Structure 1
């Protein structure tokens, strides 16, 4: 499979001790933890590779510029434990994971991410064409890294059909839909159309910066978005899109086949 990637960038699976240690250090830097207390220790990565998983590393020349870890799930799908990359390389890293999985006959991949991080939502849903299929409340419990500390760890599970051509869901007419919830800033947080086909929900511009500046306000956003998502998911909706201005589109499961 031919992969799209920037000039000078190479991506390969990593098996050796030194290469896995470098990936561990990279993840420590991304999640702002001491390298002596990494979120994914090298010995754990080595065990996952030995068990049949894959650690991919992206190199810009000789510099490590991205990495991902994937393992097999219970239903012969794959689960991406973690992926991070320098700006502009994320898509190439995910495509490398996709190619690895397809070569093994796997059709789907799942992972979780923080639903308040709008840029990640747009990448996962609008760029890759995955769908948010499960809302997990405080999934990890308290987290002490430099990115998530002080917040509750809600996560959105995404499911990526590795054989699909890309995003194909309709977005509906958000502006014409009645408001249903207000956000912590006093503005409309969520809308729902009268046909009950779509729900739209807004997230803050940059939750990571907000969490660092005002953790109490960030937690209010967490609870407000959680209320919208858990209600919608209980009624059969999934997350199918994210706009550039920070609005999720949620589509009812029995309506997705009508998408164009």
Structure 2
């Protein structure tokens, strides 16, 4: 595929920012192509998702097939050669988009920037092949992941899928409904470029009067705010812990968020960022 001058320039820049992110995280990031590496990735994903070794999210033989088909299997190794993270993406028909199947980092390394390095490597991989967009799904209740996707990377979401995967197991999902947001990441957009340079806009919840509160959360505190046409919606600080400690309350949050998000998306709003305290920012679709 022949790239336009603009896309080639963005792709070259993406390679540089991906290299910088890997260096900052203290890892080496590359496309995995060897069977031992696929086996290590299988084991890592089982650990991250709290699944038995014989029930991995993606088995090594499937990872090998994905790589052999020309799709993306990315691995990050530290200076000791230990696998610290991995990400997998396939390419949609027509090479118009990448679809990220799964990504995870070794427990205890989440704050080192390994996940960021993995995603920037995937971004550079896609742009080098003329692919302008990446999509994936994520749980809207996991505020840490939501902030990473929408604020750190610069993706946006305007589609809500109820119980997308059906029943799920493992320590992370804890048999909760598998509702998901669809993240859309325009890889060459200026916002994505800014984010790749660690210049992401940081949304800040405005100081709001009581009349701006539209509804309370299951915990009784304000959860939905209308600030002059910009909507804000709060999710729990740690839904994984809440699921373990109070599954009934966690289920109430699921139903509440499902209702709010679907109504806002139907009205033409898009989730464009998440604050550190777990507030989603919704703007009209043209502002995302």
Normalising by structure 1, report the TM-score. Answer: 0.92
1:74: Cα distance to partner?
3.5
For 2:219, what is the secondary structure of its paired residue? Answer: coil
Tell me, in whole angstroms, the C-alpha distance in 1 between the residues paired with 2:186 and 2:89: 15
| 1:211 maps to 2:243 | yes
The structure with more helix, counted as a fraction of residues: 2
Cα offsets for 1:163-191 (capped at 9, x unmatched): 12335697684624711121110111111
Residues 27 and 78 of structure 2 are in contact (CA less than 8 Å); yes or no, is this contact kept in structure 1? yes
Q: Residue in 1 aligned with 2:268? A: 236
Q: 2:208 aligns with which of 171, 175, 179?
A: 175
- Structure-2 change in CA distance of 1:219 and 1:7 (3 Å): closer
Q: Residue in 2 aligned with 1:187? A: 221
Tell me, in whole angstroms, the C-alpha distance in 2 between the residues paired with 1:94 and 1:172: 27
Residues 138 and 145 of structure 2 are in contact (CA less than 8 Å); yes or no, is this contact kept in structure 1? yes
For 2:54, what is the secondary structure of its paired residue? Answer: coil
Q: 1:24 aligns with which of 37, 42, 46?
A: 42
Tell me, in whole angstroms, the C-alpha distance in 1 between the residues paired with 2:71 and 2:170: 25
Residues 205 and 279 of structure 2 are in contact (CA less than 8 Å); yes or no, is this contact kept in structure 1? no
Q: What are the equivalent positions in structure 2 for 1:123-134 lying under 5 Å apart? A: 123-134=148-159
Unaligned runs of 5+ in 1: none
1:246: Cα distance to partner?
1.0
For 1:38, what is the secondary structure of its paired residue? Answer: coil
Residues 57 and 68 of structure 1 are in contact (CA less than 8 Å); yes or no, is this contact kept in structure 2? yes
Residues 143 and 235 of structure 2 are in contact (CA less than 8 Å); yes or no, is this contact kept in structure 1? yes
Tell me, in whole angstroms, the C-alpha distance in 2 between the residues paired with 1:253 and 1:45: 36
Q: Residue in 1 aligned with 2:64? A: 46
Question: CA RMSD of the aligned region, Å?
Answer: 1.8
Instruction: Between the two structures, name the one with larger relative contact order (CA 8 Å, sep ≥ 6).
Output: 2
Deviates more, 1:163-172 or 1:131-140: 163-172
Residues 169 and 240 of structure 1 are in contact (CA less than 8 Å); yes or no, is this contact kept in structure 2? no
Residues 150 and 211 of structure 1 are in contact (CA less than 8 Å); yes or no, is this contact kept in structure 2? no
For 2:164, what is the secondary structure of its paired residue? Answer: coil
Residues 216 and 223 of structure 2 are in contact (CA less than 8 Å); yes or no, is this contact kept in structure 1? yes
- Structure-2 change in CA distance of 1:55 and 1:79 (3 Å): same
- Structure-2 change in CA distance of 1:214 and 1:84 (3 Å): same
| 1:81 maps to 2:101 | yes
For 2:208, what is the secondary structure of its paired residue? Answer: helix
Unaligned runs of 5+ in 2: 1-14, 192-199
Q: What are the equivalent positions in structure 2 for 1:55-74 lying under 5 Å apart? A: 55-61=73-79, 62-74=81-93
Tell me, in whole angstroms, the C-alpha distance in 2 between the residues paired with 1:155 and 1:68: 18
For 1:82, what is the secondary structure of its paired residue? Answer: strand
Residues 239 and 249 of structure 1 are in contact (CA less than 8 Å); yes or no, is this contact kept in structure 2? yes
For 2:124, what is the secondary structure of its paired residue? Answer: helix
1:46: Cα distance to partner?
1.4
Normalising by structure 2, report the TM-score. Answer: 0.84
